[in-house]
Structure 1
Amino acid sequence: MWKYQQLFILLSGVLILFVCSSSARKFRICIVDGRGIFKTSGKFCPLLEAKESQIECVLGIDRLDCLRKISKEIADFSVFTPEDLLAALNLHAEVLITNELKYNEDNFEYELVAVVNKFSNISNIYDVGKKRLCLPGYGVEPEISKVLANYFEATVVPPSCDPNLSLLENRLKASDEYFEALCKAGPWVSDSKQDRLLKQKFPNMCSLCDDPYNCNQHDKYWGRRGSLYCLTDGRGEISWARLDDVHSHFGVVPGDTPKGVEIENYMLLCRDGTLMPINSTNPCVWVSKPWSVVASRRTSASRIQEFVASLSQNTGTRSPWQTALFNLIETLNYDIKNVDPIMSVDTYLSKAPGFLSAHSFSGCHPPRTLRICTTSNIENAKCNWLREAAAVSGVEPDIDCIKANNKTHCFKAVKENFADVVFVHPDLQFTATRDYDLKTLLYETSRNNDLYMTGAVVHASSDIKDLNDLQGKRACFPSYNGIAYNTILHELRTHNLLDNSICPYEESLGHYFGSTCIPGLNTNSKNLNQLCDRNLYDGEKGAFRCLAENKADVAFIDLKTIQNYTDGMSQEKWAENLKSKDFRVLCFNDNNKCSLSTMSYSQAMVRHNITRMFEHESLNTLTLIDRYFGRNNRTITPALVLYGPYDGQHNILFSDNTERLNTNLYYKHNMQVLPINYTEIIRNIPKVCEPNTSNYLSNNFYLLVIVC
C-alpha cells in the first residue's frame, strides 16, 4: 500500500510540475507582415520579449503558413479571414474561433442584397429573367470577394456547360442569354487582348455600362456603388450590391445619397420570392461575409480568448507589451469581441447566410481542372494549399495537383494528358520541347529583371580572348542538353567551328574541346566527362567550381553564378576566398556580345496541341493566382505567398525571385541589347545530327588553298 502511495505522490509531483511548466510557457502568436505601415513585426515583436510578457512572436510567411504552424503546434493562435478558414476546413487544419475583429456592431463584415425598381414588374426571383441587371463587376476585390460578387448570377441563372467554351465564357453566355441587358464592367481576364475579344463576343454584358465599348474599371457603373448608380440612373432594373452601400445610397443612414433618388421607388428582392422595403429593420440578405477572427489551437482556446479580449477592455492600463500585442492583432481599428461560445470553423462559417453555399456551387460535369505536375512531397503540399486558396478566391477552373517522381515523368504525364502544366528550368527546356513536344505558356519573370544569361567565363589572367581560342581547352558545363550546353553547341555550329563530319553532337563537342565535364551525359569517350569528379561539378555551382579549382579553362554558366559565389556571397568553403575580379566573361566580336542566350529561370509548359480555348483558360487560371497570391496582391497580409519560402524551403514549385507570370519574356527589357531567346536556339538545332562529309572536305580544301 505504501508503495502505491509513494507512486501516487511521485506522479502527482510530475503532473504538478507539468501543469506549472505549461502555464509558465508563453503563448505564441503567428505574425504575418504586410507592406509599408502594415509591416509591424520588427516594431512590436521585440516588445513581447519583456520578462513580464505572456506572449512571443512566431513569424509566418503567409496566413496559411500560420494555419500550418498552429496545426503543428509551432504557434498557438493568429488572425485569419473567413476565406482562410474555408481553406483550413478543406485541408482539415483544426482550429477554434475565439474572437472576432469588428469595426462596427454588425453581425457580419458585409452583406449582399438584390435591389429592384418597384415599377419593373418584378415580384419574385422568377421574374428577373429578361430584365436589366447592374453588377459590381470584375476586379472589385477586396471590397467584395469575387465569389460573392458572382453569387446572384450563380443562384438565379441556369448554368451553361458548353464543352467548347471556357468556364468563364459559359458563365458569360448564360447571363448574356438570361438577362435583357447587363453592366458587368472591369477586367474579365488579365490579358487585355483576350479581355477585348470576350467583350466583343458578349457585348450584351456591357450594354448598360456608361462606356459599353471599354467596359472597364473606370466606368461610372463599375464597383461597389457603381451598380446602384446604374439602377437609380434608370439604366437597370436590378442591382446587386452591399447592404451598407444600399443604406448610404438611399439615405437609410447618413451618406452620399444622390439627388432625386426616392427610396419608396425601390425594394429588396428576397430569395424566398417576396419583396421588402429597403429600410426594413430586418432586411432580407442573400449572402453574408463573416468577420476576420482570432483562431487558436483547441487545447488553449479558452485561455487565449480571455487573454485577447482583455486587450480591448483594458485600454488605459495596458503595459507596453500588451499594447504591442494589440497592434499586432488589429490593423484597421477593429474592436475585439468574444465568440460565445467558442466555435469550430464549420459552425462559425455556417452562421453567415449563404457563405458556405456560395463556395460550394457545383460546376459543369465532367468538372474542369488545371492539373499541375509536381515532383516532391513538399511541392505537392504547396500545390494543395494553393489549390484551396485559389478555390475560395473564385479562381476557375479548379487546380488539381498530380505528383510524379521527376521532371521527365511530368513531361510524359503532360504529353499524354495525365497532367496539364509543369514548371521547367531552362536546363530541361530542350528535353521538354524536343522529346515531349511541350511548349511555353508563361514565363516566370524576375522582380529584378534577372534572366538566365549564358556566358563563357574564364580566369581573368587567361589568354583566351575569343570563341576561336576555345579549341582544345578544358570546358565545364552545368548539364547535358541544358541551356549552356545547347547555346555553346549552337554558337560553335553558327561559326562553323565544329567538325560537321562527327556525330552525335556531344562527340563533335568533345573533339573540339580538350576535355570536358558534362553532367548527365553517359559516354565512353575519353575526352567527355574526363573532368567530372564525384558530382562535385554538377549544375551551375559545380561548373563554376570546376573553373575556380583550375580543373577547367572555361565554364559555360549563367553569368549571375559568378556574383553568387564570389566576394563573400557564399558560405561554401571552396568559394570563401573567390573574388569576382579574378574572373572574366568572354565578349565576342559581333556587337561585343558577352552573353550568348537568355531565358527566364522557370516557365510554365503545356502540351503543344492543346486547344485554343484550353490555352486561354489555363492562362487565365495562372494569371489569376499570380494576381491573388503574387507580389502585386491587394491584401494587407498575404493569404499565400506564391513566390517565396514554403515551410522553410526555397524555390518550391515557383522561383522565390519571381516577380510575376508573363507571356512576354522581355516585358521590361530592351530587346535590342539582349542575346537570342533560348527557345530560338532549340528550334535552330537540327533534331538529328547527320554527318556532312562534303562540307567538311570543302572547308578543309578551302583552308588548304589559303595555306598554300
Structure 2
Amino acid sequence: MMKAVILIVLIIFSLLASGKKFRWCTLSDLEQRKCAELSKALMAVLPLPTASSFTRISCIRAHNTYDCIDKIRANKADAASLDAGEVYSAVKLYGLAVVAKEIYHQGNCVFAVAIAKRGTLDVQSLRGVRSCHNGARWTSGWNIPLGFLLARNYLAWDEAQPLSQGQKSYVRDRNHFCETSSNEPFYDSEGAFRCLKDGVADVAFLDHLRIMNPTESEQQEYELLCPDGSTAELTEYSTCNLGKGPGRGIVTRSNFQRITNKFLSMIQFSNVWGENLLFRDATQHLQLLEEQLEIAYVLGLDYVALLKGLGHEGSSLDNSVVRWCCISDAELRKCEEWALNIKSDPLVCVQATSMTKCIEMIKSSEADAVTLDATHVYIAGRCGLVPVAAECYGGDCVPAAETMEKTEKLDLKHKALPPVYAVALAKKSAKQIHIHNLRGRRSCHSHLYSPAGWLLLARHTVGAQQNDTENCDIASAYQNYFWKGCMPGADGNLCKVCIGDGEVEGARVSSRCAASHNERYYGNMGALRCLVGNPSGRSFGDVAFLEHSNLLQNIEDLGSSGWVKGYTALDFELLCLDGTRAAVTEWAGCNLGPIPPSTVMTRPVTVTKISDFLLQSQESLGSKLDSEFQLFQSWKYGENDLLFKDTTQSLVHASHLSYQDILGESFIRLAESVFNCTPAGILDFCKQDICASSSN
C-alpha cells in the first residue's frame, strides 16, 4: 500500500514538475478566477515541495459541460465537476470515470423542487405553462421532474418526438443561447430561479441547495409545489419535493483516476476547504470513490433505472418492449404464449429464480414488471417500486375493461377488494392436531415471505410463543418451532420435506426448496401437495399454511392432475384460532387473517407503459372464454397461479395508489415489526440505493 502511495506521489510530481499541469475544466470567468484563488491558497497552506508541484494548476475554459467532457477525453483537460445526469452520460457514453462525489449537509443527494409564485399553480396543472429548468438532463431540474410527471401520467411522452426544453433564452450580444454554462443567464439552479423571477417562466425546476437560505422576499413571493397537489414554504423542501437524486460528481479519464484522486485529497485535507472554490457552495466535503466502481452504485440504482427509462443511453430495444419477470419454467411457458397472443407493445419474458430476484431485476432495470403477493409488495415498496394494478377475486369484481380504465368504479382507498384469507389446513384424520400444538410438527408453507405461510403465521405460532426477551427473527424462530417442513426459499430443516421438480428420485437438486414453481411444493397448490405427500406416499407434512381462495379447486385438482387420487374436501379441516377445527368451506370464520391482493409492481418511470400494456391484455385476453390463451388460467402449463392467481377475475387500476394504500395499516404494521428484526437480503440490496428515503 505504501509503495502504491509513493508511486502516485512520484507520478504527480513528475507530471507536474515536468511542465504538465493539472488542468481543471471551467465554465465561466468566475470559475477561472476561483481556480487562480485555489492556486494561491494551496501555495499558502501546503509544504513547499508539494506546493511547488500543485500550484502548477491551469483552468481550461470550455463553452459548456459537454465541451468539458470532450476536452477531458482529448487530454486537453483533466477533470470537471458535473451534475449527476451529465456524470452518467460522461461515463456510459463517453468512457470517462467518476472519482468523487460532492457531499452536502444532508448527504450526497439533492431534493428536486418545483417553485412557482404563490397562489398560481399546483403540480397537477402544469400542462401548457412555461417552465425553466436548471439544465437539460440534469438531476433536479430535468430527470426527476420528468420521471415524476410521467409516473403520474401528467405528461404524455411520444418517443418519436423527444421532450425538450421550452423557448430558448440567450445572451443576445454573444448568442450563447441555452448553453450549459454561465453565459446563459438562466443556467443552473440560480438561473432557473432567476428565470421565474424575471417572469419568463411560470414554474422553475431546480435543486434544494438554492433555497436552503431564501431571502425574506423570496419566502413571501414564492412557494413549493408538492406531489399531492398542495403547496408549502420554500424551507419545507425535505417534505415537499418531487424526489431525491444524487448530487454532483467529479469526472476524469480512466487512466487518470489515481492522480485526480490524489489532487482532490490535497485540496480536501488542506485548509482551503470552505472557500467555495470550483465546487457547489453547499459542498461540505468530497467523497473519494474506489476505482472501477459500477456507476449504478455511484449514482444509485433507482436513479440509473430512471435515466435508462428516459433514454439517456439513446434509443434501445428495452425501451420499446415490456419485460415481464417469470419465476419458473412453467411461468416462462405461459408468458411466451402471452407474448404470441398480445396485440400491443412487444412482450419479452425474463426468467428469475424467485419473487425477490424479480424485485432486484426490476430495480436494476433488467426487467419491468411482476405480480407479487402482499409481503413481496411490501418489500418491493421499500425498494422503491410502485403499484400498477391489483388482482380482484370473487364475484364482487367489476367488469374487466372498467377496472383498468375507470378507477372511480372501484377506488381502493374507499372500498376494499374482496378479501383472501390465510388458513391452516390439516387432514381430518389427524384429530390430535390443533393450532396451539404445532410445535415440533412437520409443516408445509407456500413459500418464504408468503403472507399466509410466513408473515401472518407468525402471529399465531412463533409470535404467540415468544416474549420480548426472545429472538424476534421469525426466520430462525420457525426453524426451531417446527420439526421439519417445506418452505420454498428457506433453508435448514424447513427444506427437508421439499421434493424439487420431480415426484420420484432424480429431481434436479437445484430445484429442491426453490422459491418458484420448479419446486412442486411451492405456492398454495404446492403446500396442499406437501400435506398429502408425493405420489410415492413420502415427503408429507402435518399442517399446511396457504390461502383459502382456490382451496376447493386445488383439492379437486390433486386427483385430476395425477398427483394423488381419492381426496375430497371432506378429508381436510381448517385449524381455528380458538383451538377448534372447521370444514374447509368455513374459512370466513376460521382463518389466520385477511391478505391484501397480489399486485403488479414496476419502476415509477414505467408505470404508464405497464398500465397501458395490461389494459390491452385484459381487454383482449382477460376473460374471453373463446380465446386460446387465458390470462388468468394456468392448468394447461401443469401448475397453478402462474403470472397471476387463477382466481383473479380482473385487474384493478392502482397506479394512483401507494403500496401502503393497497396493503392497509394493519398489514403494514405487521410487516414492519417482522422485518425490523428479521434479516432479508433483498432489503439489504435495496438499502444500497444512495438516495433511498429515510421514511422507507
TM-score normalised by L of structure 2? 0.37
Larger radius of gyration: 1
TM-score normalised per structure 1:
0.37
